[in-house]
Structure 1
Amino acid sequence: MASSSSTKKNTMRLQSSAPLLLLHLLMARFSSSADLLQNPDFESLPTNLPPENSTAEFIPLNQTTTTLPGWTFEGTVLYVNAGKTVSLQRNGSHAVQLGPDGRINQTFTTEGSSGSASIYLLTITVTYSAVGGGRNCTASAAAVVSAPDSRTEVYQRDGYDGKPWQSFGVYLGNWEEGEVVDLVIESMSSDPDPDTICWPIVDSVLLKSARSLASDNGNLLPNQDFELGPEFLTNSTEGILLDQAQSPLQSPLTQWSILGTIKYIDSDHFFVPAGNAAIEIIAGNSTGIQTAVPLSQGSSYTLKFTLGDANDSCVGDLSITAQAGSVLKNYTVQSNGTGSGQSFSMTFEAGSGTTPTPISFLSLTALQTKAGAFCGPVIDDVVLRASMGVRVAMNWSFLLFLALFAASAV
């Protein structure tokens, strides 16, 4: 278990991003749509493939004579057919490999209603070791995902799920309706050998948009049940890895900062205490999430949440530190790895000043499943409530903020 001093140190690291959380994102419900890209799984065959190579596992694409439906490409790009060397059974029969200077891109037009911005999140599934010939490809190659507002490196992690294919969630940006966005996925390698076989293979790319709408359901936390995150692939069984994001406004777990690596899990393949999604804190001690909310000074609040295991053979004590304002408490559940959850609550008083109050959950656990994959505590169904008097005051404050915000925008 981490010492109290190290826990406080990492808590302060999370607190540094708290002021970035805008007040108008405090209370939200969401509408979303997914599958916004053409040929996101590369199952539509390229045109003009040489007949003698059409059944090969790796087919070089010629930029002059070949087109890849929905995508443009540059550099060394190979079309991948499932075979003995690489298995694509989970996500179909085809993929693309990005070799030296390999790059694919697709331009899309943002959707939504006039004057309303949408958040865009990407799920990307990649592998390296499927063609690595036993080599360690984790440190030498990456797929870089970029858009006008973001740039994210995606590289394979040993021990995070025990399988060659891994899915990652990426924040792309926040745009209003009708904007033209160029999504770029390209290779990057630190290996000086240009003939290395550790180049990324991209199996599927799923784009999701979501709009936030003001709503007051009595819960003061944004995205409190983690339902707004990257889109799950229908035939994916290992969840989605979410990497560190210091800003809650530029995070794949919308409106929550991420420290370290966590796993976004769905109710179809894991134990999820409430709704369709939850998070599993898998990267060991001091990994976690945080958000922040403006609260009424000196008023009393109660933070409730569910702590459990994901039904992924994670056996042992699952411990976390929960922080609400200046109050930090440790909580533990004993897991037999078959899926269970227990509700906890803590009461605290909002501090002084105008800085938003941090709400965070940090893991104190470093465990592995029977298959050797990292695992840890599941957090879900987080609720922050106050007395009726405070809640009314918050609503009037929120309405006043909206009025001032609208006036300043005119």
Structure 2
Amino acid sequence: MAVTSSAVLAFLLLIAASAFAAPPPPSEGLLPNGNFEDPPKRTDLKKTVIQGKNGLPKWEINGLVEYISGGPQPGGMFFAVAHGVHAVRLGNDASISQSIPVKPGSLYALTFGASRTCAQDEVLRVSVHPQTGDLPLQTLYSSNGGDTYAWGFRAASNVAKVVFHNPGVQEDPACGPLLDAVAIKELFPPRPTRDNLVKNAGFEEGPHRLINSSNGVLLPPRQEDLTSPLPGWIIESLKAVKFIDKKHFNVPFGLAAVELVAGRESAIAQVIRTLPSKCYNLTFAVGDARNGCHGSMMVEAFAAKDTLKVPFQSQGKGRFKTASLKFKALSARTRLTFFSSFYHTRIDDFGSLCGPVLDEVRVVPLSRC
């Protein structure tokens, strides 16, 4: 069959177009039945307890896992389900898991609603082989049960088995963490530029924000930069920091920022490349999220041997100020650290932790000290 020149030309143009086509968008959104709104069959439920390994659609369960509807519970308890109507509760040593397709070597963040349901010191263990992290749930950052967390992992193969596990053993076997939504987002770690040595300086690259996440997304403590759900940054403190977005909060620059919600127990850091004995200028913005957080705030910044305390009098109206710190590098790596000096709660809700907002962190070399 003869091939016309116009057909050949069209084929070549198609190849050229595909060569310059934009890369596929990153994977983002709820996991299959990630909000647990697809219920177990009636035959797979005994009161609230799910029966059988595959009783929860799209998930595999082990141990005592309950299917919970938000609101008042038998025995006088109340379970807040912030991201829908249904959730699951993990009893003693119970777990749920799901295998999902991923790209080997890529960085991902899981976002999920999680809260404790009893007075005990509950822990939620999250794992994607070979990485595991324990999230302490004793601290309630919001009084309405709407705490949302993010946890990062780097894919080791093309399939990731996501496991949520309650490693605790309580007197009441029904006690355990409540999990009410699970989503994923592929992250693309930014790099330093000629104009700024700080990676992800404005916190624009971060985890998926669940629908109804008006409380922001908590970044758990002790997150290393290689697998952090906030690329480039280390959460090196005992408590979480909060990732906030422009839709729900005041953000000084761009679309996102971080809120230091737990005083000195809520610290964020990054290690940057520097030249020994060379001087640099560190600048950053400090403000409030316009979320009712008020009072005398202070952010402390550390770079090499230099420190700076930045006071900020918040009226909760979304204002901010910029600060500057000149420092001399001592080695080829310099750690930048930020934390809040004081503890704060919202003026309209003393059960919700809050604090100063940090944004637009920049480091540029100086021609002379």
Pair 1:347–1:153, CA change in 2 (3 A)? same
Query: Which deviates more, 79-88 or 247-256?
Result: 79-88
Structure 1 residue aligned with 2:175: 198
Q: Distance in 1 between matches of 2:288 and 2:192?
A: 30
1:336 deviates by: 0.9
The answer on 1:367 being equivalent to 2:361 is no
Of residues 34, 50, 70, the one that matches 1:61 is 50
Equivalent residue letter for 2:28: A
Report 1:315-330 matches (<5 A): 315-330=294-309
Shift of the alpha carbon at 1:165?
3.1
Correspondence for 1:248: 225
Does the aligned pair in 2 maintain the 1:88–1:94 contact within 8 Å?
A: no
Paired position in structure 2 for 1:37: 31
- Please give the alpha-carbon distance, in whole angstroms, between the structure 1 residues aligned to 2:61 and 2:217: 26
The structure-2 alpha-carbon separation of the partners of 1:36 and 1:149, relative to structure 1 and needing over 3 Å to count, comes to farther
1:202 CA displacement: 1.0
Matched residues in 2 for 1:257 and 1:338: separation? 29
Structure number with higher relative contact order (C-alpha < 8 Å, ≥ 6 residues apart): 1
Residue 3 of structure 1: aligned partner: none
Matches of 1:206 and 1:126, distance apart in 2: 12
SS at match of 1:160: coil
2:232 aligned partner, one-letter code:
Q
Whether 1:110 aligns to 2:102 is yes
Q: Please point out which of 80, 87, 90 is paired with 1:98.
A: 90
**CA–CA distance in 1 between the matches of 2:70 and 2:259?**
31
Question: How far is the alpha carbon of 1:268 from its aligned partner?
Answer: 1.5
Superposition TM-score, scaled by structure 1 size: 0.75
Q: 1:143 aligns with which of 112, 124, 149?
A: 124
Is there any run of 5+ residues in structure 1 with no aligned partner, and where?
1-30, 390-410
Superposition pairs for residues 11-410 of structure 1, below 5 Å? 32-35=26-29, 37-46=31-40, 48-50=41-43, 59-63=48-52, 67-85=55-73, 86=78, 90-111=82-103, 117-129=105-117, 132=118, 136-137=119-120, 139=121, 141-171=122-152, 173-175=153-155, 179-191=158-170, 193=171, 195-212=172-189, 216=193, 218-245=195-222, 247-258=224-235, 259-261=237-239, 262-285=241-264, 287-351=266-330, 353-354=331-332, 356-370=333-347, 371-372=349-350, 373-386=352-365
Give the Å deviation of 1:300: 2.8
Partners of 1:302 and 1:344 lie apart in 2 by: 10
Structure 2 residue runs of 5 or longer lacking an equivalent are 1-24
Whether the 8 Å contact between 2:197 and 2:273 is mirrored in structure 1 is no
Identity %: 29
Residues 64-87 of structure 1: CA deviation (Å, up to 9, x unaligned) = 6x5322211121122223453255
Tell me the number of residue pairs that the alignment of Structure 1 and Structure 2 aligns.
336
Q: Alpha-carbon deviations, 1:310-357, whole Å to 9, x = none?
A: 112222111122122221111111001222111111222323x43x01
Deviations 1:171-215 (A, max 9, x none): 2x2136x52221111223242x2x344222210011111133656
CA contact (8 A) 2:83 2:211 kept: no
CA distance in 2, matches of 1:343, 1:291: 19
Aligned equivalents of 1:333 and 1:271: distance in 2? Answer: 15
**Matched residues in 1 for 2:265 and 2:148: separation?**
23
Offset at residue 253 of structure 1 (A): 2.3
* Partner Cα separation in structure 1 for residue 97 and residue 360 of structure 2: 37
Partner of 2:5: none
Instruction: Report the CA distance between 1:306 and its aligned residue.
Output: 0.3
Aligned-residue offset at 1:388: 8.3
The normalised TM-score by structure 2 is: 0.83
- The one-letter code sitting in structure 1 at the alignment partner of 2:339 is L
* Matched residue SS, 1:50: helix
